[in-house]
């Protein structure tokens, strides 16, 4: 009944075990002190960065950032010409949230991060105009931006989400339809602001999306970031969060459900770079159907500048059928001895037959029992989104994914 | 009047060392309203009998039969057995992350009755049963068995027994791991369920302790995969004094 809980130097092999997470691993409870003698080859923050695509050699698939991705299937995005024009966007209006297209010269561009790979740099070099979402106003609010008509020609996009100091909002990015997209999203959270960004991927079955989110979080500010990937052929969403201000806080959640032939990937990076910063990373995924593939890489760097850091990251995968593959790779780098806590856990397990037996022995039919368990497994993430209508809609979307199993 | 009949039951499991025979011809008949205690040393096959009745896929029935009012139980799926009126309180109840006790109970009740219970009376029934089992209200919103102590898990099993109202229940070492207060509370729950529904009980235990609170009509001594001796409550008293040595001497365990 135990799932692998790594607390030593991580390796890059997928972890696997026979069972579902147990109580300790399910919630964020353990804080294993991670001050082990692990010396990384290269500090995460020292990776090469550039805004210019020409600075990156052609992608081979052997690069650390690409080695688990099907790079041959999107050479147009890593090396081709991208359409960087504006596209249709549907946004719920709100008096304190400005949504508009801005020039490449906008002062905010490039302040939250920089590309570390060629697809991101290609998008950066190609976008003609950026979508800027500027949040003001101290009271809570929610806005949804929907992209549904990106089309199937390769394109680039750039988005800025800025939460002004002391502002508060939930920003939902809803993605449907076709796409062959490489994009960068910069998230700038001002002092004491409280921002939630939820990105939901419900693309058509052959869509390809390579997204990089760069967030920088100011003093005493808070970012909740949620990645929900359900639909699309290849979906790669890599959030990178710079805890730049003292007392900054981030919670990164992810929920993914890979069906036959789908590749869903997320490379998460949290950079603790200020005193008393806190991070929690919780990603959960389900896999079903031949060739369903997921990748989760979680890098956490606790720099010398970040005494008093409190950090924990975990990834759980639930394997529902044969023929799937889940990679789960946590990396923890700690450069200061003065931390509150740092830990990580990773587990990939089959559907637990004992759970199924228990539920069935109470009269619950097999299909319903499976549904209960998977729904329960993923609901931990759904419950944290912070938008009731979206939470309800996603519960329904998960039910639909599960019904997919019965068809197989 | 319902009856559960176990006839010449032979059961084996696949192990790394090959097929292992565990039950070697079990015969047992339980009538509605009767309490049968099965006592036996560790490894004698008591849990195997319990799991086989419930239909755990790990246990392979080589021969024999289990009849519930004449209907063959062995061909039923696990959930069909439960809906037919069988219940197993497990020695080691399973944790179900993300599924709350409330949701679980309602789903099970709906499955067993074939229709959703009337909301108001159901909520009241759940609350009352929990209160009688001294389970704090907060358990209703916790995930099934997750982080429950051993004793809390056992109470949760008896809670289900009371609410799902089976015709026959197998209690596999419900007494183990309980302190004397918890043992009394759990035993009261079992006695209440029996008074209310008149179910038949198969009480599996290693010790005689629980038999002070739940009075058996019959006691069976289980050794090496079969019933070695049976009698009335006085047999339990004798086991209390003599232990299982007498039986173990006759049949080496293995
Ligand atoms: N799945 C299994 N794989 C291998 N051996 C098993 C398995 N299940 C049961 N056994 C073996 O079968 C025998 C009977 O086990 P069982 O659990 O039925 O005993 P028990 O009487 O309930 O014991 P206890 O009093 O310890 O609960 C034991 O030797 C046990 O190790
Ligand atoms: Mg046992």
Q: Is the pLDDT of residue A6 over 60?
A: no
* Residues in chain A closer than 8 A to B55 (CB atoms): 360-361
Tell me the two tokens of residue A91.
């946004």
Contact A301, A331 (CB under 8 A): no
Phi and psi at B74, nearest 5°, equal -60, -25
Domain CATH for B66? 3.40.50.300
List Cβ neighbours of B144 (8 Å cut-off, separation of 6 or more): B94, B95, B96, B99, B100, B101, B104, B156
Question: pLDDT 10s per residue in chain B (254 long)?
Answer: 899 999 999 999 999 999 999 999 999 999 999 999 999 999 999 999 999 999 999 999 999 999 999 999 999 999 999 999 999 999 999 999 889 999 999 999 999 999 999 999 999 999 999 999 999 999 999 999 999 999 999 999 999 999 999 999 999 999 988 999 999 999 999 999 999 999 999 999 988 889 999 999 999 999 999 999 999 999 998 888 888 888 876 555 54
Starting at the edge strand found earlier in the chain, the sheet holding B200-205 runs B86-89, B168-172, B200-205, B35-39, B218-223, B226-231
Q: Is B63 on the interface with A (CB under 8 A)?
A: no
Distance from CA of B149 to the nearest CA of A (A): 12
Band (A12; pLDDT cuts 50, 70, 90)? very low
CB-CB under 8 Å, A20 with B94: no
Supply the mean pLDDT for chain A: 89
Per-residue pLDDT of A83-123, as tens digits, reads 999 999 999 999 999 999 999 999 999 999 999 999 999 99
Task: Examine residue B228 and state whether it is found in any structural domain, yes or no.
Answer: yes
Band (A14; pLDDT cuts 50, 70, 90)? very low
* Residues in chain B closer than 8 A to A19 (CB atoms): none
Q: Is the pLDDT of residue A36 over 60?
A: no
Least confident window among A7-21, A63-77, B77-91: A7-21
Residue A229: helix, strand or coil by DSSP? strand
Which residues constitute the domain of residue B227?
3-249
Per-residue pLDDT of A372-396, as tens digits, reads 989 889 988 998 998 999 999 998 8
Task: Examine residue B254 and state whether it is found in any structural domain, yes or no.
Answer: no
Tell me the two tokens of residue B132.
């009688």
Pick the residue from chain B with its C-alpha nearest to A383.
B98
Q: Is A99 on the interface with B (CB under 8 A)?
A: no
Q: Does residue B92's CB lie within 6 angstroms of at least one atom of ligand 1?
A: no
For the segment A359-371, the average pLDDT, to the nearest whole number, is: 94
How far is the first Cα of chain B from the last one, in angstroms, to the nearest whole number?
Answer: 39
* Residues in chain B closer than 8 A to A354 (CB atoms): 94
Task: Examine residue B93 and state whether it is found in any structural domain, yes or no.
Answer: yes
The ipTM assigned to this model is 0.95
Domain count, chain B: 1
- Torsion angle in degrees (nearest 10) through CA of A104, A110, A114, A119: -20
- Give me the pLDDT at residue B250, please: 56
Task: Examine residue B150 and state whether it is found in any structural domain, yes or no.
Answer: yes
Side-chain-side CA neighbours of B130 within 13 Å: the count stands at: 16
Residue A262: helix, strand or coil by DSSP? coil
For the segment A150-174, the average pLDDT, to the nearest whole number, is: 98
> What single-letter DSSP state applies at residue A46?
G
Per-residue pLDDT of A206-251, as tens digits, reads 999 999 999 999 999 999 999 999 999 999 999 999 999 999 999 9
Q: Does residue B182's CB lie within 6 angstroms of at least one atom of ligand 1?
A: no
pTM for this structure?
Answer: 0.77
- Give me the pLDDT at residue A41, please: 58
Q: Which of A268, A267, A281, A292 is nearest to A401 (CA)?
A: A292
- What is d(CA B76, CA A152) in angstroms, rounded to the nearest whole number? 52
CB-CB under 8 Å, B88 with A361: yes
Alpha-carbon distances of A369 from A2, A251, A364, B49, rounded to whole Å: 21, 31, 6, 24
DSSP-assigned beta bridge partners for residue A196:
A170, A224
Name which residue leads in pLDDT, B56 or A36.
B56
Distance B91 CA to ligand 1 centre (A): 12
- Give me the pLDDT at residue B246, please: 82
Task: Examine residue B226 and state whether it is found in any structural domain, yes or no.
Answer: yes
Q: Does residue B42's CB lie within 6 angstroms of at least one atom of ligand 1?
A: yes
- Give me the pLDDT at residue A214, please: 98
Alpha-carbon distances of B254 from B13, B41, B43, B225, rounded to whole Å: 14, 12, 9, 10
Pick A372's closest partner by Cβ from B93, B99, B160: B99
Task: Examine residue B143 and state whether it is found in any structural domain, yes or no.
Answer: yes
Buried b (16+ CB within 10 A) or exposed e, B158-192: bbbbbbbbbbbbbbbbbbbebeeebbebbbbbbeb
CB-CB under 8 Å, B146 with A26: yes
């Amino acid at each position: 009944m135990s799932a692998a809980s790594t607390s030593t130097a991580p390796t890059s092999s997928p972890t696997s075990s026979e069972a579902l997470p147990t109580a300790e691993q399910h919630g964020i409870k353990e804080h294993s002190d991670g001050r082990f003698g692990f010396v990384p080859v290269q500090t995460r923050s020292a990776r090469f960065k550039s805004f210019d695509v020409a600075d990156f050699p052609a992608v081979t698939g052997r690069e650390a950032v690409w080695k688990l991705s099907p790079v041959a299937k999107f050479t147009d995005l890593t090396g081709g010409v991208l359409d960087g024009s504006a596209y249709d966007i549907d946004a719920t209006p709100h008096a304190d949230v400005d949504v508009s297209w801005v020039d490449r010269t906008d002062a905010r561009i490039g302040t939250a991060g920089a590309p570390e790979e060629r697809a991101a740099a290609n998008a950066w070099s190609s976008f003609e105009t950026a979508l800027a979402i500027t949040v003001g106003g101290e009271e809570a609010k929610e806005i949804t931006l929907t992209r549904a008509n990106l089309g199937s020609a390769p394109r680039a996009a750039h988005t800025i989400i800025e939460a002004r100091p002391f502002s508060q909002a939930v920003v939902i990015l809803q993605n449907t339809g076709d796409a062959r997209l490489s994009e960068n999203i910069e998230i700038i959270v001002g002092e004491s602001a409280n921002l939630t960004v939820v990105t939901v991927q419900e693309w058509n079955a052959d869509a390809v999306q390579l997204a990089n989110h760069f967030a920088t979080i100011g003093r005493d500010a808070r970012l909740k970031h949620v990645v929900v990937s359900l639909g699309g052929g290849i979906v790669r969403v890599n959030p990178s969060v710079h805890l730049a201000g003292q007392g900054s806080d981030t919670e990164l959640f992810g929920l993914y459900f890979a069906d036959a032939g789908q590749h869903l990937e997320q490379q998460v990076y949290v950079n603790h770079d200020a005193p008393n910063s806190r991070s929690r990373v919780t990603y959960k995924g389900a896999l079903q159907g031949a060739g369903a593939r997921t990748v989760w890489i979680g890098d956490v760097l606790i720099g010398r500048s970040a005494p008093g850091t409190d950090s924990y990251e975990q990834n759980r995968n639930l394997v529902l059928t044969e023929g799937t593959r889940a990679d789960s790779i946590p990396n923890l780098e700690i450069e200061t001895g003065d931390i509150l806590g740092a830990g990580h856990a990773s587990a990939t397990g089959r559907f637990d037959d004992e759970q199924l037996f228990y539920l069935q022995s109470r009269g619950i039919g097999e299909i319903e029992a499976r549904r209960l368990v998977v729904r329960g497994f993923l609901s931990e993430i759904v419950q944290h989104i912070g938008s009731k209508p979206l939470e309800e809609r996603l519960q329904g979307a998960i039910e639909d994914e599960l019904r997919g199993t019965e068809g197989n | 009047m319902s009856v559960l009949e176990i006839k010449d039951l032979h059961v084996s499991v696949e192990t790394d060392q090959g097929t292992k025979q565990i039950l070697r011809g079990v015969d047992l008949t339980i009538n509605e309203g009767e309490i049968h205690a099965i006592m036996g040393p560790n490894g004698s096959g008591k849990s195997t009998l319990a799991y086989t009745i419930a239909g755990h896929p790990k246990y392979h029935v080589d021969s024999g039969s289990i009849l519930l009012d004449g209907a063959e139980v062995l061909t039923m799926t696990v959930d069909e057995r439960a809906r037919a009126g069988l219940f197993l309180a497990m020695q080691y109840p399973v944790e179900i992350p993300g599924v709350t006790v409330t949701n679980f109970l309602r789903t099970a009740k709906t499955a067993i009755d074939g229709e959703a219970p009337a909301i108001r009376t159901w909520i009241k029934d759940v609350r009352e049963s929990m209160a009688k089992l001294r389970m704090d209200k907060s358990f209703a919103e916790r995930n099934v068995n997750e982080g429950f102590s051993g004793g809390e898990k056992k109470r949760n099993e008896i809670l289900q027994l009371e609410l799902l109202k089976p015709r026959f229940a197998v209690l596999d070492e419900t007494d183990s791991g309980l302190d004397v207060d918890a043992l009394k509370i759990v035993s009261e729950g079992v006695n209440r369920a029996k008074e209310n529904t008149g179910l038949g009980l198969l009480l599996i235990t290693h010790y005689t302790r629980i038999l002070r609170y739940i009075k058996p009509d019959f006691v069976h001594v289980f050794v090496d995969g079969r019933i070695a001796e049976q009698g009335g409550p006085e047999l339990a008293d004798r086991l209390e004094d003599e232990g299982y040595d007498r039986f173990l001497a006759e049949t080496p365990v293995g």
